[in-house]
């Protein structure tokens, strides 16, 4: 489903004119479509209908409470990576018993908190962590449910900062040694072996690496099931989305509604690649999608402040900065930039779209062909629903932007814009 489209010359999210959002709540503001998030969740859920499965939304992608609540109400579980995320999920009405707790560096406090709340499973990334969990569970006199994260050593072509499934990075336990760690786990009195987990990377745009990784761990799953009664296999997240759209030469529109499928590869092709190897395993399947559910469901709405013609280039300076959306600076990632007022016959020109932060890395586009943008007009930085707000900072003492959720023709602030007073809250003088 594609919730962002032009109607009557204005860019809308569902039935809401984005300029009405800017008028009511200012800019920069993240705007999310509830309908899109639920549609993506339901389509994935339906495609896997024949399997005993649980979709654990990766809360790190967008952990706004209203977004978590939407998914909790839709029936999702959650993949969490910190005590803070567990707290948010619970505050949003999610259940700990449907949460998997991942991450390479869980603290004793986080482990204890997750045990107290009763998470579904800890995804364990090292033997040292396993021992620590065993020790903390002993103090509570409980058995901690665990899955080991195996590194299947599969190459998934994506940005090097978000590829995780090869032997060269810090994640998981080598596929050659993981059986030995399971044996060690089976001897720990406060550990209960529950699953096997893997995650090969993020923004993967083909189904092949997923199927390949499942194929690689399938023999392990069978053996673990026989030996220890393994209950589940988590195949991680990583399904990619479409960030880049070519100018539609047919209609000449800068932004056009493709309708239908929003994934880089379709839910159907993903499902048909992964279902055959999973079907025969006879264990429950967990998935941890983040970006796929929320990425295309959000935009960062920003206003053009100044247009500056320098000697060699034209700069369009907007009121959002790299502190609000860091993906272009950090990963050279592409976000479409779309005027809220439909550009029509405006002439195209090549510009840099930059923010107000004092860094040359503070850009959203470089040398990009865009319709001529005018001072004061609104533009949307598209596909910013995942890893957008959650990676924001207060750099340059810029307050966090607001977040707005749209449902049909209605919208509401789901996180207020920070104030200057918020910026210094908790700071103390020491004289
Ligand atoms: N499971 C595990 C163990 C993960 O590490 C991740 C993401 C996910 C699931 C969810 O992945 P997704 O379905 O969203 O691809 N900040 C980067 C992405 C970092 C992803 C980290 N791990 C970005 O903006 O592209």
pLDDT digits (tens, 9 = 90+) for 92-149: 999 999 999 999 999 999 999 999 999 999 999 999 999 999 999 999 999 999 999 9
Asked whether residue 162 carries a pLDDT value surpassing 60, the answer given is no
Residue 231 CB less than 6 A away from ligand 1: no
Asked whether residue 179 carries a pLDDT value surpassing 70, the answer given is yes
Mean pLDDT on 384-399: 98
* Beta strands 298-309; 53-58: pairing state: unpaired
Residue 236 CB less than 6 A away from ligand 1: yes
Asked whether residue 223 carries a pLDDT value surpassing 60, the answer given is yes
Q: Measure the CA–CA gap between 198 and 217, rounded to whole angstroms.
A: 9
Residue 290 CB less than 6 A away from ligand 1: yes
Residue 267 CB less than 6 A away from ligand 1: no
Mean pLDDT on 153-159: 73
Residue closest via CA to ligand 1's atom 5 equals 199
296-418 architecture in CATH? Beta Barrel (2.40)
Q: Looking at the CA of residue 202, tell me the nearest atom of ligand 1.
A: 15
Testing ligand 1's pocket by substitution, the residue of 37, 58, 330 carrying the most ligand atoms inside 8 A of its CB is 58
Q: Measure the CA–CA gap between 208 and 412, rounded to whole angstroms.
A: 40
Residue 203 CB less than 6 A away from ligand 1: yes
Q: Measure the CA–CA gap between 413 and 423, rounded to whole angstroms.
A: 20
Mean pLDDT on 174-202: 97
CATH pick for 103-287 out of 2.40.420.20, 3.40.50.740, 3.20.20.10, 3.40.50.150: 3.20.20.10
Interval between CA 169 and ligand 1 midpoint (Å): 14
Interval between CA 333 and ligand 1 midpoint (Å): 15
Using pLDDT thresholds of 50, 70 and 90, give the confidence band for residue 313. Answer: very high
Asked whether residue 385 carries a pLDDT value surpassing 80, the answer given is yes
Residue 289 CB less than 6 A away from ligand 1: yes
Using pLDDT thresholds of 50, 70 and 90, give the confidence band for residue 157. Answer: low
Interval between CA 407 and ligand 1 midpoint (Å): 26
Interval between CA 61 and ligand 1 midpoint (Å): 7
- What's residue 166's pLDDT? 59
Mean pLDDT on 149-163: 75
Instruction: Specify the pTM.
Output: 0.95
Using pLDDT thresholds of 50, 70 and 90, give the confidence band for residue 391. Answer: very high
Interval between CA 20 and ligand 1 midpoint (Å): 32
Q: Measure the CA–CA gap between 303 and 356, rounded to whole angstroms.
A: 12
% of the chain exceeding 70 in pLDDT: 92
Domain with CATH 2.40.37.10 in the chain: 296-418
Residue 358 designated active-site: yes
- Please list, in sequence order, all residues whose beta carbon lies within 8 angstroms of the beta carbon of residue 20, skipping any fewer than 6 positions away: 411
Domain with CATH 3.20.20.10 in the chain: 103-287
Using pLDDT thresholds of 50, 70 and 90, give the confidence band for residue 196. Answer: very high
pLDDT digits (tens, 9 = 90+) for 242-278: 998 754 444 445 444 444 444 567 899 999 999 999 9
Residue 55 CB less than 6 A away from ligand 1: no
Helices 127-140 and 108-117: angle between axes, nearest 10 degrees: 50
Interval between CA 287 and ligand 1 midpoint (Å): 12
Tokens of residue 17, six digits: 């004119």
- What's residue 156's pLDDT? 75
Mean pLDDT on 386-396: 98
Q: Determine the longest span between alpha carbons in the chain, in angstroms.
A: 71
Residue 274 CB less than 6 A away from ligand 1: no
- What's residue 244's pLDDT? 87
Q: Measure the CA–CA gap between 94 and 88, rounded to whole angstroms.
A: 9
Catalytic residue among 13, 56, 99, 358: 358
- What's residue 250's pLDDT? 45
Cβ 377 vs Cβ 340: under 8 Å: yes
- What's residue 249's pLDDT? 44
Nearest to 106 by CA among 76, 78, 79, 126: 126
- What's residue 264's pLDDT? 66
pLDDT digits (tens, 9 = 90+) for 293-309: 999 999 999 999 999 99
Q: What is the mean pLDDT of the chain?
A: 93
- What's residue 152's pLDDT? 93
- Please list, in sequence order, all residues whose beta carbon lies within 8 angstroms of the beta carbon of residue 198, skipping any fewer than 6 positions away: 149, 150, 151, 152, 165, 172, 213, 217, 234, 235, 236
- What's residue 56's pLDDT? 98
Asked whether residue 33 carries a pLDDT value surpassing 60, the answer given is yes
Mean pLDDT on 382-395: 98
Mean pLDDT on 38-42: 97
Q: Looking at the CA of residue 201, tell me the nearest atom of ligand 1.
A: 15
- What's residue 171's pLDDT? 85
């Amino acid at each position: 489903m594609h919730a962002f489209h032009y109607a009557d010359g204005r860019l809308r999210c569902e039935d809401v004119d984005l300029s009405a959002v800017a008028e009511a709540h200012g800019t920069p503001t993240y705007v999310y479509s509830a309908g899109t998030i639920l549609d993506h969740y339901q389509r994935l859920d339906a495609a896997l209908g024949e399997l005993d499965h649980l979709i654990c939304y990766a809360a790190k992608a967008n952990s706004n409470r209203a977004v978590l609540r939407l998914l909790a109400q839709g029936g999702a579980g959650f993949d969490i990576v910190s005590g803070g995320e567990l707290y948010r999920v619970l505050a949003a009405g999610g259940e700990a018993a449907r949460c998997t707790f991942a991450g390479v560096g869980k603290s004793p406090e986080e482990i204890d908190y997750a045990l107290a709340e009763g998470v579904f499973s800890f995804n364990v990334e090292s033997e040292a962590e396993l021992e620590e969990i065993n020790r903390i569970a002993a103090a509570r006199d409980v058995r901690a449910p665990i899955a080991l994260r195996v590194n299947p050593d599969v190459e998934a072509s994506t940005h090097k900062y978000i590829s995780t499934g090869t032997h060269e990075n810090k994640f998981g336990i080598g596929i050659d040694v993981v059986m030995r760690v399971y044996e060690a786990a089976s001897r720990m009195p406060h550990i209960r072996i529950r699953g096997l987990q893997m995650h090969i990377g993020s923004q993967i745009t083909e189904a092949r690496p997923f199927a390949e990784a499942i194929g690689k761990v399938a023999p392990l799953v069978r053996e673990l099931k026989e030996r220890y009664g393994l209950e589940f296999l988590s195949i991680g997240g990583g399904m990619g989305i479409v960030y880049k759209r070519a100018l539609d030469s047919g209609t000449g529109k800068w932004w056009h509604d493709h309708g239908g499928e929003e994934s880089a590869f379709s839910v159907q092709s993903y499902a048909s690649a992964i279902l055959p190897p999973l079907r025969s395993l006879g264990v429950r399947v967990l998935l941890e999608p983040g970006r796929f559910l929320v990425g295309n469901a959000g935009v960062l709405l920003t206003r053009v402040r100044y247009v500056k013609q320098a000697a060699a280039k034209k700069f369009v300076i907007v009121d959002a900065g790299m502190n609000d959306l860091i993906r272009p600076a950090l990963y050279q990632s592409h976000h479409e930039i779309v005027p809220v007022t439909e550009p029509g016959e405006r002439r195209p020109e090549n510009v840099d779209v930059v923010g107000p932060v004092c860094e040359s890395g503070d850009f959203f586009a470089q040398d990009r062909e865009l319709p001529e943008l005018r001072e004061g007009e609104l533009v949307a930085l598209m596909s910013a629903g995942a890893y957008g707000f959650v990676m924001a900072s207060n750099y340059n003492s810029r307050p966090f932007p607001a977040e707005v959720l749209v449902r049909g023709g209605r919208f509401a602030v789901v996180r207020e814009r920070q104030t200057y007073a918020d910026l210094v809250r908790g700071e103390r003088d020491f004289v």
